[in-house]
A and B are shown apart, each in its own frame.
Chain A
Amino acid sequence: MSLLVATGISFKRKQQLLLQDVQLELKAGELLGLIGPNGAGKSTLLKILAGLQKPTSGSVQFQAQALHKLSTQERSQKLAWLAQGGMIHWPLTVERLVALGRLPHLAAWQQANAKDQAAIDQAIQQNGIEQLRHRDATTLSGGERTRVLLARALAAEPTVLLADEPIAALDPGYQLQTLELLRQFAQGERACIVVLHELSLAARYCDRLYLLKSGCIVDTGSAATVLSSENLKNVYHIECEIGCTSVPWIIPSRFINDQN
């Protein structure tokens, strides 16, 4: 079953075409990876899929319904978006910060009930941040902050999670732990799209990959198809050692300078 379908998405800002005729489909139970060099349009595409930005042309459908026709509350309950980096402006405690994830489920004057608290507790536990529960969220390390913000997104119990570079600030241990968590999340009726720069991990964890370059989808499919030497040369201007022992690995070996 398709959860999200983007058709003919183009996006222009200040006369610059950031996305061009992008087609994308996310099925239930899928962990889908968006890869591509910096400035390829991955984050913009993710925002459009989350309903945070209107495409210049094209449409996004969520469960066969036009995304823009969903009420704001319905959209925010079903689709969770995790920002790249992530800002925390006031020194809230970690628990109160994770609790913000429940906002889409609460009416204007409604207080969190036992069900909300259970979702918050579960998100905290899943992300292994129990020991941080009462800490000031602005004093966390980059890795801790990422896990807390991911817990905030998961506390909403969304159907689709859209995560923009969630492992960028994490050490290898937490990178694996976070991707395991996303893998675990993207099961049954739920699915996840994740923007990644770590190609080996993208190959290992994602069911399918979309490779972007200059706002266009260059290739899509399984990691074995997308992460070919030719594609990587064309998109990243790199030569790579590609292999698979117990897990797939891609090691960039040389940057190809077109000017030479």
Chain B
Amino acid sequence: MKYRTLLMSLSLLVFGLFCLSLVVGRDPLPIWQAANEVFTDHSSVFAIILTEIRLPRTLIALLAGATLGLGGAAMQGLLRNPLASPDLIGSSSGAALCAVIVLYFGWQNVSLQMLPLSAMLGSLVATALVFALAGRDASITTLILAGVAVNALATSAMSLLLNLAPSPYAMRELVLWTMGDITDRSMDDFWLMLPFTLIGWALMLGVGKQLNALTLGEETAASLGVNPSWIRWRIFIAIAFAVGATVATTGMIGFIGLVVPHLLRPLVNYEPGRLLPAAALGGAAMLLAADIGVRLIPTDAAIKVGVLTALVGAPFFLYLILRNRKEHL
């Protein structure tokens, strides 16, 4: 498939899922009537459902999915490793830990930006820690072990905070938040995450050629005019911005950054640079689809979208490990 055709197809898929996400729900929404009422009678029930429930949820799914797909592709390109993704190497759990700390102490009431900023800081520190532990040319095993260690550290700190939660209600809120969810989000949440997300995207999408050069190793890439340590920090910071803002808004939604780049890589002839925009579109499509999916699954309590992506992603991760093992036999 030609690259442009692939991007066009993915864009159409995202557009289709975006529209579907506005329509689909426990209560069907007559979309034309709702859209019409947004302009004529914005206090009508349909207009409120569209602008205050469905639209922010859909926009946040779009941003978060694209961020996770793009972050996974950038991380895998940087590390030349198909098993790297922001959630496996600690970026997401670092962000989640700092966000939980802010929620626990109620600091989000001090300033609206407190939550995304602390999540970004957590993401940056956790990612840098994994890289520092694993070393520059880390093997796949070392890197995953370092990720496991940092994830374990963040998770245990989160468990401690849950353990010390002042009330069962507060504990439930924290647990639900860490599951990864995009329900009950408002346009304010969207506007809050948008600038940080866009900065992260811009930083990541601009390193396509450098990631291609890294296919030949860091030294050869340097001989081609790439500064590998600058690229590494640029991607760390980009992930901290975009993934940090995403985690602060949605909680931890796992496996999109692992699965989507992996599925799309053969379609871009394995070029890390070309994978970036494709993975962003693919990630958006996957999260939009998962979010539509959780609305359609008939359960009493709504399934959190992070739970669904993990249910799909974890077996996929196992499949990757098994395939990796077969290749090395």
Contact = CB atoms under 8 A, between A and B. Distances in A.
B269 interface: yes
A50 B222 CA distance: 10
B209 A89 contact: no
A133 to B, nearest CB: 13
Question: Which of B213, B220, B222 lies at the interface centre, i.e. has the most chain A CB atoms within 10 A of its CB?
Answer: B220
B45 interface: no
A81 B270 contact: no
Interface in B164-218: 206, 209, 212-217
Nearest to A75: B225
Nearest to A91: B270
A86 B209 CA distance: 19
B227 interface: yes
Given A91-B270, A93-B269, A108-B209, A100 B215 contact: yes
Given A73-B225, A88-B216, A103 B270 contact: no
Interface in B262-302: 265, 269-272
Contact of B216 (A50, A79, A86, A108): A86
Interface string A74-91: 011101110100111111
Contacts of B225: 72-73, 75-77, 103-104
Interface residues on A, range: 20 to 34
Given A103-B225, A104-B225, A87 B217 contact: yes
Contacts of B212: 100, 103
Contacts of A64: none
A76 B209 contact: no
B57 interface: no
| Contact-residue size bin, chain B (C-beta under 8 Å from the other chain) | 20 to 34
- Chain A interface secondary structure, helix, strand, loop or mixed? mixed
B41 interface: no
Contacts of A83: 216-217, 219-220
Contacts, number: 71
Contacts of A176: none
Contacts of A152: 216
B216 to A, nearest CB: 6
A79 B223 contact: yes
B137 to A, nearest CB: 10
Given A87-B216, A87-B217, A100-B216, A52 B269 contact: no
Nearest to A108: B206
A87 B227 CA distance: 18
Contacts of A52: 219, 222-223
A23 B209 CA distance: 36
Contacts of A47: 219
Given A96-B269, A103-B209, A108-B206, A89 B223 contact: no
A89 B215 contact: yes
A81 B222 CA distance: 10
A91 B268 CA distance: 11
A21 B209 CA distance: 37
A80 B223 contact: yes
A250 to B, nearest CB: 31
22 contacts: A52-B222, A72-B225, A73-B225, A76-B224, A80-B223, A83-B216, A86-B216, A87-B216, A87-B220, A89-B217, A92-B270, A93-B269, A96-B269, A100-B212, A100-B215, A100-B224, A101-B224, A103-B212, A104-B224, A104-B225, A108-B206, A149-B216
Interface of A: 47, 50, 52, 72-73, 75-77, 79-81, 83, 86-93, 96-97, 100-101, 103-104, 106, 108, 149, 152, 156
Give the 5 A-B residue pairs with the shortest CB-CB distance, closest first: A76-B225, A89-B80, A81-B223, A87-B217, A90-B270
